[in-house]
Structure 1
C-alpha cells in the first residue's frame, strides 16, 4: 500500500553502534517492561473484544444472530475486496519507490513489495508493530543500504499516511449528517492535532536546513534531556533531512500525495465492501470515518493483528448508524482476516526465502537508533 537518482548522501549515513531504544528489548530495557507492555496489549484486546461481542455471545438467540449473519453474507464481495487489497499494496510499493529515490531506482513489484509484505506479515504476529523494522532490515540487507536511511523513508511514509487519513476523516465528518456530536468533536480535535504534525512535516520538506537547526537549538535548551539522546535525535533528523532533498521536486511530491490518497481510498473501499457483504448499506462517507477510527485506534497497545480492537472500533463508529450488531461484528471479522491470512502467509513465506533469521533482525534492532519511530505509527491496514 505504499510507494534513480543520487546515492551521495545516504550511502554515507551509518547507524550508530549502540542505542538506548530497541524494538525487541535491549539490555537497558528491563524484561519486565517488555512483558508488561505485552500484558497490557493482551488486556486491551480482551477488553475491547468483550465490549464489542460479549452480549452477542450471552444467549442462544444472540449467537444465532451471529451465525445467521455469516450464513447470509455475500462472500462474492471478497473478489473486489482482494483486488483492492492488491492495489493497496502495489500503491504502497510505488510510493515507497518515490521515497527511496535518493537510494536508487527500485522496481515496485520486483524489489519493494516483498519487503513490505514481510513487514506487514510480521506485524500480524509480532507485538508493538515490530514488523516495520523487519521490513527495514530486509530491505537494507538485500540492497546493501544503510538501515537509518531506509528507516527514515518509513517514518516519512507515515507522515503522508496521516495526511491522507485526516483528509478522508474530514470528508466523512463533512458529508455524514448524523454523526454523534462527541465523535465529531473528538474527530476534529484529532484532525487538528494531526494537521499540526503534517504541517510541521511540510515545513521540514520545504525549509529542511533551518528546521534542523531550530530542532537542535530547542534540544540544547532542554535541561533534563541527556546529551547523548539529544545527539541521536538530531542525527536521525539530519539523516532524514539529507534524504528529503529529492522530495523538493513538485512532480515527486504530487506522486507521493496522490498515491497516499489512492491507497487509503482503497482501504476505505475494503471496509465499505465488508459492510455491504453483511447487508449494512451505509454511505461510503461513513467508511471514511471508520477508516480514520481504525487507522488511529490500532496504534494503542494490543495483541498482534489487533484482534478485539478492530471489532470494538467498528461497533464504536457504526452503532451511530445501525443496530445490526451481529452484521457489524461479522463485517469487522471478514475485513480483518481477509487481509490477515493472505498477507501473513505471503509475508512469512517471502521472509523464509531471504535466508535471514529472526534473531538477526533482533540483533540489528538492538543496535539501530530509534527503531520505534517507524513502529509506533498508524499501520497501513
Structure 2
C-alpha cells in the first residue's frame, strides 16, 4: 500500500475536481453567464498584476528567510511562493501555504525555521490587513455604533499582532522557540 499511496494522493485532487464539477449540481449556464459578464479589462489587469504581486511578496519572504539564516534566490522564492499561493487557495484555512516550508526543507533548510518563515510571512499580511482595518474603522467611524469599543478593539488587535511579530522576530524568543519548544514537538522525520 505504501508504494501506491503517493499516486493515490496525487489522484485525490483531480477526483475531487471531477466530483465538484459534475456531481454537485453546478449550474453550468449560470457559471457561463457570470464569466461572460465579467469585465475583460479588469480580468486582464488582474492577470498582469499577479506577477509583480508574487515577486514583491517573494522578496519580502526572502528578507524574512535571510533573518533566519536561510538563503534563497529570488527566482526560486517566487516559484515556491506561487506554489504556496495556489496550494493555500485550494486548501481550507490556506493550510497549503505551509508547503513552502517543506520545499525549503527539501533544499536543505531546517524545517522549524522554514515553517517559522511562513508564519512570519502570514503575520506580515495580518499586520497590513490590521492597518487597513484600523484606517477603515476611523474613516467610517460615523457609520459604526459604539465607537469607543471598536477603537479599543482595533488597538488591542493591532497591538497583539505587533507584539506577536516582535516576539518572533526578536533573536531571544525566536531561538528559544526554535531550539527548545518546537524540536520536541516535531516527529523525528520532520526535524531534519
The answer, yes or no, to whether TM exceeds 0.5 is yes
Shorter-chain TM range is 0.5 to 0.7
Alignment of 1:209-228 (within 5 A): 209=172, 211=173
Give me the whole-angstrom Cα distance separating, in 1, the residues matched to 2:101 and 2:144.
40
* 8 A contact 1:99–1:153 mirrored in 2: yes
Asked if 1:98 corresponds to 2:63, the answer is yes
Provide the residue aligned with 2:101 in structure 1. 136
Asked if 1:76 corresponds to 2:47, the answer is no
Asked if 1:167 corresponds to 2:113, the answer is no
Asked if 1:87 corresponds to 2:33, the answer is no
Provide the residue aligned with 2:181 in structure 1. 235
Alignment of 1:316-335 (within 5 A): none
> Structure 1 length normalisation: TM-score?
0.35
Give, in angstroms, the shift of residue 106 of structure 1.
Answer: 2.3
Alignment of 1:303-314 (within 5 A): none
1:190-214: CA deviation from partner (whole Å, max 9, x where unpaired): 53343232332354267643x579x
The answer for unaligned runs of 5 or more in structure 1 is: 1-62, 217-230, 238-363, 370-381
Distance 1:127 1:186, change over 3 A: farther
1:198-231: CA deviation from partner (whole Å, max 9, x where unpaired): 332354267643x579xx8xxxxxxxxxxxxxx9
- Partner SS state of residue 181, structure 1: coil
Distance 1:159 1:180, change over 3 A: same
Alignment of 1:26-175 (within 5 A): 72-101=37-66, 102-109=68-75, 111-141=76-106, 143-175=107-139
Give, in angstroms, the shift of residue 98 of structure 1.
Answer: 0.4
- Partner SS state of residue 100, structure 1: helix
The two structures, once aligned, show a CA RMSD in angstroms of: 3.9
Q: Which has the higher contact order (CA 8 A, sep 6+)?
A: 1
The aligned length equals 159
Distance 1:80 1:153, change over 3 A: same
* 8 A contact 2:131–2:158 mirrored in 1: no
Distance 1:113 1:181, change over 3 A: same
The answer for unaligned runs of 5 or more in structure 2 is: 1-29
> Structure 2 length normalisation: TM-score?
0.62
